[in-house]
Structure 1
Amino acid sequence: MAKIVVMGAGLGGMSAAFELRETLGKAHEIVLIGQGDRFSFTPSNPWLAVGWRKSEDITLDVAEHAERKDIRFIADGVERIEAGADTVITGVGERIGYDYLLICTGPKLAFEDVPGSGPEIGHTQSVCTTPHAAQAWQTYQAFLADPGPVVIGAVQGASCFGPAYEFAMIVDADLRKRKLRDKVPMTFVSSEPYVGHMGLGGVGDSRGLMEAEMRQRHIHWVVNSKVTQVREGEIDVLEHDAKGHAGETRTLPFKFAMLLPAFKGVDAVAAVEGLCNPRGFVIVDKHQRSLKYPKIFSAGVCVAIPPVEATPVPTGAPKTGFMIESMVTTIVRNIQAELAGKKPDFEGTWNAVCLADMGDTGAAFVALPQIPPRNVTWTKIGRWVHVAKVAFEKYFLYKMRHGTSEPVYEKYILSALGIERLKDTRH
């Protein structure tokens, strides 16, 4: 019997634990370790931050649903990984040995990279976590009573641009519903070289479509820029030219601001010698396996993926839900093969499929594969994307509650987009 520890109880970790149980059966022990006792559906955080959802709508109790599948759940997090001893130490000091370790932690939010940013010790809000989005909703309610300039965007080194675009459009839609939009100048700030780059080098005509959408909504933008400092009510933005040379610094006033940070690897993972790159992301081969530690696999945002292209201001490559599902399935099938005495030679398909809600419409981005040249590159805007995003939220939470490993993107999202069904992995 093998003992498999899954580190992280978010989108990747929960999916991995359920898929392991469903694929391997009851013969093996599965331990799921999360930081806290609640699973959060992260893609819904922008809605929470404007009051369109409540925290209880998009979270669930992990232990209740994991234990139904005979998966032990620990809510104390991992304090340390002793990779040489095949052991993790939890936040309360419990030592847990493993035959396989799956690292699905997601990222550490590097607010410290930009002085004055972040919701805890800074002056900007975040939608990266559900508690952050809930705090943003409290701040947003105060803002509604005394509206003024809004700044939304993603700082240098960020790799997750979709939620910034989503939140800008959702705030615009919400303010229009409240008849307050005319009182709120809005500016979108990004390290991307142009609007619609998305960390992907653009997808189809994403630049033209997103610029048109922003002009239609009267959202100004400042791109190819670094946020150098945030003070109460002011954000300093340093613009750059096409060669990356620093130019003009402008100061943007705000009464409400949300800036997505750059990511790093979580401390317990980044501390393992030879496991990660300098930013703390896990280095894996095409089978999602650590190059140094053959008993460690990794999936999700915590995996090291090089930027799609060099940009004048640093941008990272996003990891979307479809890609995470593919990574998880790859790991599970490789472990299954190894336990059966076979060569673990499954490979994931690193494709980008993103549904970005815009409040009253939405944008769908498809890049297959993520890094050009691509077999499919496609962007569409329409109200149907908003409807698809809501349906995706409902189905994924259903999936978690009922412990199914059915691939949401594979079966539902791609078919909704009219794209031929893709295999999760290549064998």
Structure 2
Amino acid sequence: MVQVVVLGAGLGGTLMAYELRDALGREHGVAVVNKGTHYSFVPSNPWVAVGWRERQAVEVDLRPVFERRGIGFHPQGARRLNPAEKRIELNDGSSVLYDYLVIATGPELAFDEIEGFGPAAQTQSVCHIDHALGAKAAFDRLVAKPGPVLVGAVQGASCFGPAYEFAFILDKALRDAKVRDRVPMTFVTSEPYIGHLGLDGVGDTNGLLESEMRQRHIHWITNTKVDRFEDGKAHVSEIAADGNVKQAHEIPFVYAMMLPAFRGVEAVRGIEGLTNPRGFILADKYQRNPAFPEVFSVGVCVAIPPLGKTPVPVGVPKTGFMIESMVTAVTQNIASLVAGGPATAVPTWNAICLADFGDGGVAFVAQPQIPPRNVNWSSSGAWVHAAKIGFEKYFLHKIRSGTSEPFYEKLALQILGIDKLKAVQQDTAP
């Protein structure tokens, strides 16, 4: 019997366990190591932060689902991975051995890299359900005593979509509370232009998002490096193309939500041959680590180089569609290796995103995610908000039921047109 362990039970890790169980059957072992027993649907966190969702609506207790599906579960969390011994040391001192490992930890949030940054200091976050609940309490204080708001993403960030979502959702929530007229809003981002998204834009995301910001009276500053946060004030440097400071800004706020840069989690960070200097997992085109070939990786923890040089460091996002394609490829590769064959499956690395604005939104499809692309499409409208709600309900149902059916590809087919995208898929199939 082969033992396959998944490290992490977020979007990629949970789906990974489900797909592995389907592919390997009950004659082989599948287990998950995670810190905690619950799956939380992170895309709903901006709604949680303004009171549109409660914790119980966006969380799933994984214990009964894993038990029903025959998936082992170690919710103690990982202290340290020892890939040379094919062993994970858990936080309680015990260990889990594996024949194959899939790292799906997600990131560690690097708030400590900027003075005064993060929920334990001067700013709010929607990166974690606990952060979002704290942001909701701060939102209530903002409504009671309105003042300037700061939203955006700092240098080195790679996940920009939620920053845009939250700016527009917050705008809608403040309008509903009848206090938007007393809340000046500034969007500060390390991107070289609005709508870059770490992807050099997708379709006309630049024009679409700038238009939305103008309509909602949101001022923006791009190419920014946050120097520090103080009580009620952010010190920000706007960087010119030559790397020098173009202008220094002191931005007042009574409420700030800024997305951080990511790095690899402590359990894997600094392992020679496994990670890059930021702690992200090195992987070949099969999602397989070159130094430890029994180790695969999926999701935000995977090392992907930036698209190109920008005045301020900007990372590349790992969207749900991309992660889903990684999961499917890794499942096929491990199943082939277990059966005595080679690893041949290559993920498509396509991107589809529904960015909700509370009463509308922007959708985009990039195929592949890294340019140049075969599909480079974006659109906006009220339909995106409805689609995001439907996506949330469907995805949480999939996690609760333990099913591994791919969803993002179906969504992309519906948005772009089945014939058009199927033709592109056939042209770009590995």
TM superposition score normalised by structure 1: 0.98
1:35 aligns with 2:35: yes
Equivalent pair of 2:365/2:412 in contact (CA under 8 Å): no
Which residues in structure 2 correspond to 1:216-227 (within 5 Å)?
216-227=215-226
Equivalent pair of 1:301/1:319 in contact (CA under 8 Å): yes
1:140 aligns with 2:166: no
Which residues in structure 2 correspond to 1:184-333 (within 5 Å)?
184-333=183-332
Equivalent pair of 1:388/1:413 in contact (CA under 8 Å): no
Which residues in structure 2 correspond to 1:86-125 (within 5 Å)?
86-120=86-120, 122-125=121-124
User: Please, which runs of 5 or more residues in structure 1 have no aligned partner?
Assistant: none
Inter-partner Cα distance in structure 2 for 1:284 and 1:414: 28
Equivalent pair of 1:201/1:309 in contact (CA under 8 Å): no
Equivalent pair of 1:348/1:426 in contact (CA under 8 Å): no
Q: Residue by residue, what CA displacement relative to the aligned partner does 1:239-297 show, whole Å, maximum 9, x if unpaired?
A: 01123221221110001100000000001111322101000000100000001001100
Inter-partner Cα distance in structure 2 for 1:347 and 1:311: 29
Runs of 4+ in 1 over 6 A off after TM superposition: none
1:12 aligns with 2:12: yes
Give 2:67's aligned residue.
67
Give 1:393's aligned residue.
392
Give 1:339's aligned residue.
338
1:24 aligns with 2:38: no
Please report how far the alpha carbon of residue 321 of structure 1 lies from its aligned counterpart in structure 2 after TM superposition.
0.1
Q: Residue by residue, what CA displacement relative to the aligned partner does 1:333-355 show, whole Å, maximum 9, x if unpaired?
A: 00111111111111011112111
Inter-partner Cα distance in structure 1 for 2:390 and 2:101: 32
The SS at the match of 1:325 is: helix
The SS at the match of 2:238 is: strand
Q: Residue by residue, what CA displacement relative to the aligned partner does 1:43-69 show, whole Å, maximum 9, x if unpaired?
A: 000000000000100001111111110
1:49 aligns with 2:59: no
Inter-partner Cα distance in structure 2 for 1:416 and 1:249: 42
Q: Residue by residue, what CA displacement relative to the aligned partner does 1:388-420 show, whole Å, maximum 9, x if unpaired?
A: 111110000000111110011012343234352
Please report how far the alpha carbon of residue 426 of structure 1 lies from its aligned counterpart in structure 2 after TM superposition.
4.6
What is the identity, as a one-letter code, of the residue corresponding to 2:94?
A: E
CA root-mean-square deviation: 1.2
TM superposition score normalised by structure 2: 0.97
Q: Residue by residue, what CA displacement relative to the aligned partner does 1:218-238 show, whole Å, maximum 9, x if unpaired?
A: 000011110110011000110
Please report how far the alpha carbon of residue 23 of structure 1 lies from its aligned counterpart in structure 2 after TM superposition.
1.3
Inter-partner Cα distance in structure 2 for 1:134 and 1:414: 35
Q: Residue by residue, what CA displacement relative to the aligned partner does 1:4-50 show, whole Å, maximum 9, x if unpaired?
A: 11000100000000000011111111111111111000100000000
Q: Residue by residue, what CA displacement relative to the aligned partner does 1:328-374 show, whole Å, maximum 9, x if unpaired?
A: 11110001111111111110111121110011001012111122111
Overall identity of the aligned pairs, in %: 55
Inter-partner Cα distance in structure 2 for 1:37 and 1:404: 18
Quick one: structure 1 residues 198 and 231, their matched pair in 2 at CA, closer, same or farther if it must change by over 3 Å? Answer: same
> How many residues of Structure 1 are paired with residues of Structure 2 in the alignment?
425
200-209 vs 165-174, greater mean Cα deviation: 200-209
The SS at the match of 1:359 is: coil
